[in-house]
Structure formats: structure tokens, C-alpha cells
């Protein structure tokens, strides 16, 4: 027995042969267990070079082997550890010849891949093509997603890219050209590394047996994040001896959009019928009240490994908080005030995190944090004002506010059809010469193509439709967006995903009455981390703002999960039971990031002033009163108002009291 491991962890370490599935709940010490497992294998006589450790980052493999060496000795550094892609590239350099892959092939990085896709696109999409085609970046994403999800281009385009349904044949032709370019130039992209390795392991028994003799033990970390191809490769490597140990948490499978498939965990015992399933359920991160909520959320899942996380940490009476707020603005204000209060009570900003389902959910909060001088860093999506479509929209506002803003003119001119850099420059010069009025000069468009003129006039008609005396930002934005939304759809292949950001921009403008003030507030960009400095100048202290996806594997003392409402979590775009279950797992991941205190917040109305309801994952809990301390801003405001009224009834006027004291 290893003294610093619990019974379940020790069982993992000391079970040597055969297939093992370790279902490791959040915060249950899976990495420590794997490290001891590796050390124990070598300690009991296994040749370290016959162990293959597959992880999702090179750093994770290096760290695990380093820790194992600390337990045992430097023999651990001979274990073959790395990512699926690194293993596959070494495998193909040795065995790729069996499917005509040259051993000195080039591995394409993201930029190289885009270059090849662009070359293929140029052969199909000519200057005379009348239809709008997806950009090379979108095409590369379509090809890779199709591979990782193992679905046809046709099905993927119907589901995720309906605007290109009529172009499926041409997109398939571009893919064919892309593959031809790669083959001609002995180049493989990341997907090819997996695809070709699996192909060889499936078709060549001699090579499969060779691999079994070289790697007698296969260990896979974060198995819930594997896609079907990666899981297939791992199982093929172990098909001869079946000495495969996979570690993961089905309840943390949240990367379905990348191809991660929860079935890899759930169906593992079907692939290897003699699988030993070991559950790790003792949590070393969170206090029990937080785990009670996590367990309850998982209980509603349709299909999973039933587990009940428990903690031996000192028990706290404080339950997680379920906070009901009036609207999105109130939510942002409440969260920022909470963070400030915690800081003033001596807590470090670095111990605090605010999590959200989608990047755009934090836009209002970012403004509040900036106003309160609370340092933060955002992970999982760009900061609000760095988004290209937000910059586009603000450029229109800047031109209205200041017609001499050459940079903003340049930006909005280049968004128009038939206006390139040359004509954008010439048009601005003409505007400047004519004091920003094109109607007074009959020769204004002399030398300009007719199509350029039409595009420019259409833009100016939009700007001139706004009365000069109008300074209400919300109404101005309404006018601008009628012009800009068609441009958005024509400019960005993922326009639908960008539209909620524009809604947030409109929402930010609702309470502003002056365009100058509104722009001033927006353009004072939030600064990150130590640039702004915390209240007591502790260097590197900052609140973490993060999407739940980017927060996986991390932990904080205080965690706020915001906008836990229908339409956000779960997302309104979900269509299947499988997608709904992944949304449930997202909330589980968010909850289990908290060590001591958890807040779930939900506004009563959304950015369109429509009523919302708390997420079904919370409202469906049968014992929510036992799980949460409920807090309502609306109710508290009403109570406070009544208290003040009762205190003031019959009491002297405060002003009069002051006067009486100082003057009498």
C-alpha cells in the first residue's frame, strides 16, 4: 500500500494487467494516481521503454514522468510519453511506407494548412465566380471538424454552415484538391497523422503485433477528451495484450465540438469485456456543500457512471449561493461589488474567478470591473472591444461623433463592396476637401467607378439618416445596425455567432444619453492584470474571467458562475439529447472549480428585456432548498426600502438634526 493514496487510488496502482477504466471524478487526484501507477510498474520490473503514456499536452507527460522520477528514479524518463500527434508522427516515419507515406514528410502547422487550402480554393473559386464562397479559414475548419466528428461534409454543412448548403459540391472539390496538394508535396496535417496511423494499425497485423511487443502497457490520460480516432488508436495498440489503462471523467466530457466523445468512456467495457472499473470519488478540492450540488446536477443525467463525490475537508455550514437579479446590468454590478468586497476583506483577487458559458456573457462585467479598477484577465475568447465586428460598429459611431476620424473612415469604407484601399483613401480626401459633404460638389465622383459610387452613397445615406441633433447612442446604433448587419453576414462566415456581441453593444448603450460619453466609456479599454494594479498593488493579482471550457482543470477559492439561465446554459442552439447532456456536464465542471465558496447568478431579464428563467439543471433539482442559500436582489431592495421607511417614520429630518447640532 502507498501511504499517501486512498484505497481506490491504491487499487489502480496495484492492478497490473488487463484493461482498466479509472473513472476519476473532479478533484479526485487522478494525476497523482497515474504518477504512482507509472512508478509502480517500473519498480516491479516493467521495462520503462515498454510503457506508452498518451496525454493531451507534451507538458502534462513531461510533468508526470518528472514526478514519477521523484518517487522512483531517473529510469522513469525512459518511459515513452507524449501526445497522440507526437506518437503518430514517429510511428508514421517508421511505418508510413506501408501506405506510401514518405518518411521525411513535412508536418503542416495551422498557417501552412491554410496556405494549402487557399491554393486549392483558388483553383475552384475564380475571379468570375458569382457566388460567395467560404474563406480558406472556414474551409479548413470544415474539413477538420468533419474528420474529428467523423461525419460527412454534407451533414456538417447542413448543421453548422447552412449558408453554404448550395456549395457542398464545390467545397468537396476544394477538399479533393487540398488532399492532392498534400500528397504531391509529402505534407501531412494534424488530422492526417491520426488518420494514417489508425489506417496502418487497422490493416497491417504484422505492424500491430510489433507495436504490442514494443509497448506492453498503454496508459491514456484525460480519456474523456479523446475523439473516436484517438480512442481507436489507443485500443488498437492494446488489442494483442489488452494491458490498457484509461483515466478520465465522463462527467467532464465538454469538448464535443472538437470531436471529444463521451461514448469512448461509456463503451470502453464493451470493447474490452473483462475491464476492471475503478472509481475515484474522494475529492481533495471542494468542501462538501459544493460537491452536494455537483452530485445533484449529475443525478439528472440520462447516462453516466453513477458516482457520489465526497470530501473529508472541514465541513462548512455555508451552502452555495443561488442569486436572482433583476437584469444583466444588475448581475454585472452585483458580481463586481462582490469581488471588491472580498478583496477589501483581505482575499486575493487571484483566488477569484467568474465563469460563463459564452465569451460574450462577460462584456458588461468587463466594463464594471474597469470602472471599479479591479484587475482581471479573460480566457476563452477575445476581450469585447478587441472583437473585429465590435471595432467595425464603433468605427461608425466615431465617424458620426468626429467626421475627421480618418482611421474610422478607412475601416468603414473598406467594409463596403467595390471600395478597396485606393478608393478608400481617395474618397476620404474628397470628403476632407468638401468639408465632409459630397452633395455640394458636382464633380465629387469624377474618376470613380459607378459601383464604388453606389456603395459610398449607400453608406452616406445611412449616416445622414441620423439627425444631427440626435445623440442617443441606442437610437444611433439601431440605425447603424440596419446598414451593418448585411455587411456582417457578407464579411464573416460565422456571422450568427457574432450577433450576440452586437446585442451586448446595444444593451450597453441603453442607459446612455450622450454619444460622446458612451464612446469615452467604451474606448477606455479594460486593461489586464498588473497593468491596472490591485487595490494594494500586489503584483500579478487579478480576477480570472473564463469560459467554462477554458477553466477545465483549474480551481479557485471563490467561483461565480454567471447567467445560469435557459438559452445560455443550456445553450439555445442545442438540438439533441446528447448536446443537452454536454451542457449539463458544463455546469458540473463550473461547479467543481470552486474550493470553498460558489455563487450561481441568474438575471430575470435578458439583453432584449425578455423574461428568462433559471437553468433547468438547477430548477429541476428536487432538493434545491437544501442545496442553496437563495438570495434575491429584488426582494432585498424591497425589504431595505421598507426598513428605511419604517426607520424614517416619526424620526427627525437628518438635515434638521445636523442644523440643530451645529447652529444651536
Assign 483 to helix, strand or coil. helix
What secondary structure letter does DSSP report for 148? Answer: H
CA–CA distance, 334 with 407 (Å, rounded to integer): 37
Rounded to a whole number of angstroms, the distance between the first and last alpha carbons of the chain is 83
| Residue 361 reports pLDDT greater than 80 | yes
Assign 482 to helix, strand or coil. helix
CATH number of 385-524: 1.10.486.10
Residue 276 · residue 16 · CB < 8 Å: no
Read off the C-alpha cell for 419: 471600395
CA–CA distance, 563 with 356 (Å, rounded to integer): 7
Q: If you count them, how many residues does the chain have? A: 664
Residue 522 · residue 391 · CB < 8 Å: no
CA–CA distance, 306 with 229 (Å, rounded to integer): 26
What Cα–Cα distance (Å) separates residue 413 from each residue in 424, 448, 461, 500?
6, 14, 13, 24
135 or 435: which leads in pLDDT: 135
Q: Which helix (H) or strand (E) holds 600?
A: strand 594-603
Cis bond before residue 651 (omega within 30° of 0): no
| 300 has binding-site annotation | no
Residue (of 310, 354, 335) closest to 26 by Cα position: 310
| 24 has binding-site annotation | yes
Residue (of 625, 631, 552) closest to 599 by Cα position: 631
Select 8-92+193-282's CATH number: 3.40.50.300, 3.40.50.12370, 3.40.50.1100, 3.40.50.2000: 3.40.50.300
The pLDDT of residue 527 is 33
**Domain spanning 321-382+540-631: which superfamily?**
P-loop containing nucleotide triphosphate hydrolases (3.40.50.300)
Which range among 42-46, 441-445, 655-659 shows the weakest confidence by mean pLDDT? Answer: 655-659
Q: Tell me if the pTM is above 0.85.
A: no
Banded pLDDT at 404 (limits 50, 70, 90): confident
Long-range contacts of 142-148 (CB under 8 A, 24+ apart): 142/171, 143/117, 143/175, 143/178, 143/191, 144/189, 144/190, 144/191, 145/257, 145/259, 147/191, 147/195, 147/229, 148/191, 148/227, 148/229, 148/258, 148/259
The pLDDT of residue 535 is 37
pLDDT above 70 covers a percentage of the chain that reads: 90
| 234 has binding-site annotation | no
| 29 has binding-site annotation | yes
| 27 has binding-site annotation | yes
465 or 295: which leads in pLDDT: 295
Residue (of 309, 265, 305, 264) closest to 291 by Cα position: 309
518 or 156: which leads in pLDDT: 156
Backbone angles phi, psi at 624, to 5 degrees: -60, -30
Banded pLDDT at 381 (limits 50, 70, 90): low
| 495 has binding-site annotation | no
CA–CA distance, 411 with 431 (Å, rounded to integer): 15
| Residue 71 reports pLDDT greater than 60 | yes
Q: Where are the domain boundaries for CATH 3.40.50.300 in the chain?
A: 8-92+193-282, 321-382+540-631
The pLDDT of residue 639 is 46
pLDDT digits (tens, 9 = 90+) for 569-618: 999 888 889 999 999 999 999 999 999 999 999 999 887 778 899 999 99
| 118 has binding-site annotation | no
The pLDDT of residue 95 is 95
| 44 has binding-site annotation | no
Read off the C-alpha cell for 621: 433539482
Amino acid at each position: 500500500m502507498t501511504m499517501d493514496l486512498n484505497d481506490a487510488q491504491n487499487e489502480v496502482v496495484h492492478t497490473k494487467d488487463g484493461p482498466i477504466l479509472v473513472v476519476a471524478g473532479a478533484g479526485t487526484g487522478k494525476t497523482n494516481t497515474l504518477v504512482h501507477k507509472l512508478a509502480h510498474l517500473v519498480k516491479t520490473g516493467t521495462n520503462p521503454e515498454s510503457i506508452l503514456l498518451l496525454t493531451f499536452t507534451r507538458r502534462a507527460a513531461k510533468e508526470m514522468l518528472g514526478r514519477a522520477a521523484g518517487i522512483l528514479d531517473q529510469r522513469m524518463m525512459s518511459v515513452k510519453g507524449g501526445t497522440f500527434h507526437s506518437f503518430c508522427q514517429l510511428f508514421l516515419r517508421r511505418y508510413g511506407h506501408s501506405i506510401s507515406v514518405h518518411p521525411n514528410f513535412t508536418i503542416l502547422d495551422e498557417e501552412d494548412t491554410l496556405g494549402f487550402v487557399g491554393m486549392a480554393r483558388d483553383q475552384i473559386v475564380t475571379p468570375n465566380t458569382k457566388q460567395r464562397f467560404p474563406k480558406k479559414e472556414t474551409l479548413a475548419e470544415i474539413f477538420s471538424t468533419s474528420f474529428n466528428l467523423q461525419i460527412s461534409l454534407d451533414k456538417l454543412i447542413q448543421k453548422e454552415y447552412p449558408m453554404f448548403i448550395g456549395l457542398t459540391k464545390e467545397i468537396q472539390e476544394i477538399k479533393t484538391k487540398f488532399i492532392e496538394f498534400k500528397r504531391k508535396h509529402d505534407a501531412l496535417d494534424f488530422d492526417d497523422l491520426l488518420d494514417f496511423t489508425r489506417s496502418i494499425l487497422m490493416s497491417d497485423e504484422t505492424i500491430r503485433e510489433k507495436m504490442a511487443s514494443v509497448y506492453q502497457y498503454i496508459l491514456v490520460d484525460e480519456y474523456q477528451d479523446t475523439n473516436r480516432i484517438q480512442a481507436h488508436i489507443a485500443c488498437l495498440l492494446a488489442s494483442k495484450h489488452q494491458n490498457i489503462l484509461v483515466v478520465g471523467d465522463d462527467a467532464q466530457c465538454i469538448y464535443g465540438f472538437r470531436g471529444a466523445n463521451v461514448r469512448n468512456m461509456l463503451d470502453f467495457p464493451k470493447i474490452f469485456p473483462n475491464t476492471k472499473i475503478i472509481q475515484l470519488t474522494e475529492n481533495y478540492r471542494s468542501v462538501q456543500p459544493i460537491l452536494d450540488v455537483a452530485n445533484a446536477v449529475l443525478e439528472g443525467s440520462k447516462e453516466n457512471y453513477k458516482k457520489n463525490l465526497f470530501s473529508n475537508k472541514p465541513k462548512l455550514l455555508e451552502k452555495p449561493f443561488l442569486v436572482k437579479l433583476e437584469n444583466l446590468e444588475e448581475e454585472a454590478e452585483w458580481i463586481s461589488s462582490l469581488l471588491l468586497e472580498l478583496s477589501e476583506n483581505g482575499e486575493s483577487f487571484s483566488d477569484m474567478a467568474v465563469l460563463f458559458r459564452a465569451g460574450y456573457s462577460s462584456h458588461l462585467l468587463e466594463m464594471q470591473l474597469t470602472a471599479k479598477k479591479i484587475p482581471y484577465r479573460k480566457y476563452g475568447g477575445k476581450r469585447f472591444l478587441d472583437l473585429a465586428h465590435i471595432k467595425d460598429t464603433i468605427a461608425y459611431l466615431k465617424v458620426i461623433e468626429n467626421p475627421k476620424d480618418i482611421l474610422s473612415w478607412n475601416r468603414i469604407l473598406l467594409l463596403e463592396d467595390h471600395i478597396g484601399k485606393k478608393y478608400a483613401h481617395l474618397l476620404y480626401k474628397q470628403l476632407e476637401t468638401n468639408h465632409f459633404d459630397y452633395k455640394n460638389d458636382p464633380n465629387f465622383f469624377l474618376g470613380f467607378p459607378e459601383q464604388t459610387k453606389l456603395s459610398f452613397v449607400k453608406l452616406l445615406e445611412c449616416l445622414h439618416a441620423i439627425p444631427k441633433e440626435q445623440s442617443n447612442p441606442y437610437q444611433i446604433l439601431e440605425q447603424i445596425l440596419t446598414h451593418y448587419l448585411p455587411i456582417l453576414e457578407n464579411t464573416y462566415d460565422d456571422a450568427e455567432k457574432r450577433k450576440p456581441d452586437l446585442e451586448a453593444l446595444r444593451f450597453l448603450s441603453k442607459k446612455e444619453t450622450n454619444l460622446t460619453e458612451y464612446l469615452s466609456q467604451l474606448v477606455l479599454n479594460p486593461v489586464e492584470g498588473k497593468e491596472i494594479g490591485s487595490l494594494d498593488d500586489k503584483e500579478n493579482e487579478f480576477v480570472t474571467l473564463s469560459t467554462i471550457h477554458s477553466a477545465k482543470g483549474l480551481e479557485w477559492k471563490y467561483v461565480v458562475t454567471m447567467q445560469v439561465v435557459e438559452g445560455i446554459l443550456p445553450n439555445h442552439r442545442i438540438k439533441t439529447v446528447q448536446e443537452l447532456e454536454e451542457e449539463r456536464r458544463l455546469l458540473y465542471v463550473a461547479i467543481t472549480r470552486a474550493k470553498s465558496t460558489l455563487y450561481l447568478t441568474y438575471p430575470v431579464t435578458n439583453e432584449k428585456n425578455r423574461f428568462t428563467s433559471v437553468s433547468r439543471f438547477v430548477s429541476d433539482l428536487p432538493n434545491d432548498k437544501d442545496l442553496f442559500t437563495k438570495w434575491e436582489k429584488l426582494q432585498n431592495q424591497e425589504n431595505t426600502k421598507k426598513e428605511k421607511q419604517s426607520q424614517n417614520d416619526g424620526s427627525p429630518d437628518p438635515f434638521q438634526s445636523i442644523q440643530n447640532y451645529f447652529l444651536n
